[in-house]
Amino acid sequence: MSAGEAWDGQPFTGAKLVALAPDGALLTYLRDDFDHLPWPGCWDLPGGGREGDETPVETVLRELDEEFGLALPPARLVWHHRRAAGALPGHYYGAHLTVAEIAAIRFGPEGQFWQLSPLDAFYDDPRTIPHQMQIVRAFAASQRVGTGTSPR
């Protein structure tokens, strides 16, 4: 069973992806710096809000395609975390990207730029969204990334 099958059918706000490169670096982007946005000018993970009656997996994969030009199949999602926040929860998924996928990234119109961030740099940057730091740590630990062992 893939992580993509973990949804209980309950309403949710959106979905994000913790995507790691083969060297353990994290795919992130710097959010636009507009006052009307939540977390302006902060480092964010791929993903976003639900559209229509999408499932969390459909949401995160659509957003990954829109924001980075990457089309992953649901079976590539290897981890799931449901975060209760506000009135409706959000969903986080984890995946591993290949070198070829990273080379194929085509950054979309939202955000200032993207980067592959070493995990320690992501954790230490004051522009990191605080609750995402905890989620990235949980995924990295589940994949044994940053522990001196192979991620898989």
Token code pair at residue 62: 């659509």
Question: What is the percent of the chain with per-residue pLDDT over 70, rounded to a whole number?
Answer: 89
- Count CB atoms within 10 A of the CB of residue 104: 13
| pLDDT tens column, 28-47 | 999 999 999 889 999 999 99
| pLDDT tens column, 77-130 | 999 998 886 656 789 999 999 999 999 999 999 999 999 999 999 999 999 999
Full-model pTM? 0.90
Token code pair at residue 44: 């964010």
Nearest by Cα to 17 from 86, 101, 120, 96: 96
Residue 147 has pLDDT above 70, yes or no: no
Instruction: Name 144's bridge partners.
Output: none
Specify the DSSP element, H or E, that contains 42: none
